[in-house]
Every structure is written in C-alpha cells, then in structure tokens.
Amino acid sequence: MLAHLGRRFAGLLLVLFIVAAMVFFLTRLAPGDPAALMLGDQATAEDIAKLRIAYGLDKPLLVQFVLWLKEVASGNLGQSIFLQRPVTQALLERAEPTFFLAMFSLAIAAAIGVPAGIASAVWRGRPLDQVVSGLAMLAANIPSFWLGLIFIQFFAVKLGWFPVAGYGSPDAGFAERLQHLLLPSAVLGLVNSALITRFTRASMLDILSADFLRTARAKGLSERRVLLEHAFRNVLVPVITVLGLTLALLIGGAIVTETVFGLPGIGNLVVSAVLRRDYPVIQGALLAVAGIYVLVNLAIDLIYTLVDPRVRY
C-alpha cells in the first residue's frame, strides 16, 4: 500500500510538472501584455517596460520558467500582477464559493443521477427508462450558461426567490453567501446529473445480469434485498468514480456558471486572469486545479479499497 502511494505521488509530481510547463508556455504563446493592459490606454512605453521588469517579464522565457518553478517548489505561487497580492491568497479567497458550489452541485447531481440511473436500469425498456434517458440526454446537451440565464430570469427576476448574482453583500454572513449558491448549484447539478444517470444506469445493467444476482434470487431473497444489498453495493465503485471525476471537473470547470452568476470563485478568477494576461494567476490557479484533480483521483482509488474488499494495493 505504501509503495503504491509512493508511486502515485511520484506520478502526481510528474503530472503537475507537465501541467506547469504546458500552462506556462501556452499562456506565454498568447499575445497580449499584462503590463500594457494594467496601465491602460495612455501608458507610456517606459512605464510598461518598468512594470515588466518589476514582474520579471523582461527575462528570457526559460529563465522565467525556472524561477517560477523554484518559487512553486517552495510553496509560493507568485504575485498577481493585476490584483497586487500573492496568488495563493487570491486562490484561497476564491476557494470558498467554488468549493461549496462544487459540493452542492455534486450533491444535487448525485441525488438526481444515482436513483434515476438505478430506476432506469431496473425498469429497462419501460416508459420510465425512456423518460429518464430522454431527460438525461436533454440535460447533457443544455449549455449551462443558457440554463443559468433561464434560471436567473425565472427564479431570481420573476419570482424573486434568489439573488440574481454575486456572493452576498460586503457584510454578508455565511447563510447569505450560501443563498447565492443555490441557483448556480441547481444549474450545475442538473447539467451534471446527466452523466451520473447514464453511468449509473450502465453499471447497474451490467450488475443486474451478473450470476451472483441470479444466485441471490434463487436463494429466495426479496427483490428489494437483491437490488439494495447485492446490486447497489457493486454499483458503488463505478458510481464513486464518476462522482469523484464530476467533483474534480466541477472544481476546475464551473467557469461558465461562475461567470454567469458573478460568483467570485476560482473559475471566474481564471477567466479574468486570462483576459488580463495575469500570468502568475493563470499558472497558479491551473496548477492548483490540476493538483486537486490528481488528488481526487488518488482519493477515489483509496475509497475503492473501503467499498470493495477485492481491491488491494
């Protein structure tokens, strides 16, 4: 187990290094100068040059990359050019809305997707299966920004149940901030429930045709016990996989929803940073998201050992 963990961590570091290099060089390939954008239309060439020197942007690319890697290795993700504060601090400030948005969305997606997928498999080919499959197809293909705008229009503007956007007033308490998350969570939850539904349905169908279920039924177990105790337990591994991956995707990929709902989360930060060419923030945020992604994957693998005694490392 320890050797396995060691190998996984080494792999994790390699993945992060590759991500770091790709992010660093790809952001630099895009034209656009953060100093010129920061200083505005009337800035002189001299001012722009000064700011570039202050942020080390005048150095050769490879030197900048090595210097950045050294800083990252010591836990420092650099200083945001635009926000004038450490990237780590900016990320931590944005982590809360993204984290809760991801968790609530996942909870909603799982609450819809898992039972719907199971029911759909159990009543395969029946009207319920057709309805669930159709809805899942629809949810998978709805653009989240469109659904977001519809939800804003209906639930926030027309009914006035939720705030339109933002993350609470400056002195908002936790409850007010969370209230701002409900609508975007519903949007992301619905959109992501499609994958979970289809994945759960497919896994359940596999299990339902397994020999051990036939044996269980032959032993005279009730259908309820067969499904809940035997089938569902075996569906857990693939379902956990898809839930974990969905969570990781939500943390890194709620960009559109955060933008539509004006949530000051990590996705929103990355979009702004790209428009501002705030290299340290783009690099730091993407590296952090990649790190989370890899760690979630690792966590999923470890959870397998808890739910399925056959899995051993």
Residue ranges that bind other proteins, judged by CB under 8 A: 30-34, 36-45, 47, 82-85, 90, 93-94, 103, 107, 149, 152-153, 156-157, 160-170, 172-176, 178-180, 182, 259-262, 264, 268-269, 272, 275-277
Closer to other proteins at the Cβ: 75 or 160? Answer: 160
Provide the b/e sequence for 232-265 (b: ≥16 CB within 10 Å): bebbbbbbbbbbbbbbbbbbbbbbbbbbbbebbb
Considering the complex, what minimum distance in angstroms separates the CB of residue 33 from other proteins?
5
Closer to other proteins at the Cβ: 67 or 157? Answer: 157
Closer to other proteins at the Cβ: 185 or 297? Answer: 185
In angstroms, the CA 262 to CA 167 distance is 8
Considering the complex, what minimum distance in angstroms separates the CB of residue 238 from other proteins?
22
- Closest by CA to 185, choosing from 114, 93, 250, is 250
Considering the complex, what minimum distance in angstroms separates the CB of residue 285 from other proteins?
12
| Whether the Cβ atoms of residue 189 and residue 100 lie closer than 8 Å to each other | no
| Whether the Cβ atoms of residue 261 and residue 183 lie closer than 8 Å to each other | yes
Closer to other proteins at the Cβ: 250 or 269? Answer: 269
Q: What is the dihedral of CA 237, 240, 244, 245, to 10 degrees?
A: 60
Closer to other proteins at the Cβ: 176 or 229? Answer: 176
In angstroms, the CA 262 to CA 256 distance is 10
Considering the complex, what minimum distance in angstroms separates the CB of residue 303 from other proteins?
15
Considering the complex, what minimum distance in angstroms separates the CB of residue 32 from other proteins?
3
Considering the complex, what minimum distance in angstroms separates the CB of residue 76 from other proteins?
19
Closer to other proteins at the Cβ: 12 or 262? Answer: 262
Considering the complex, what minimum distance in angstroms separates the CB of residue 210 from other proteins?
30
Closer to other proteins at the Cβ: 205 or 271? Answer: 271
Distances from the Cα of 273 to the Cα of 38, 77, 83, 231, 278, angstroms = 11, 14, 10, 47, 5
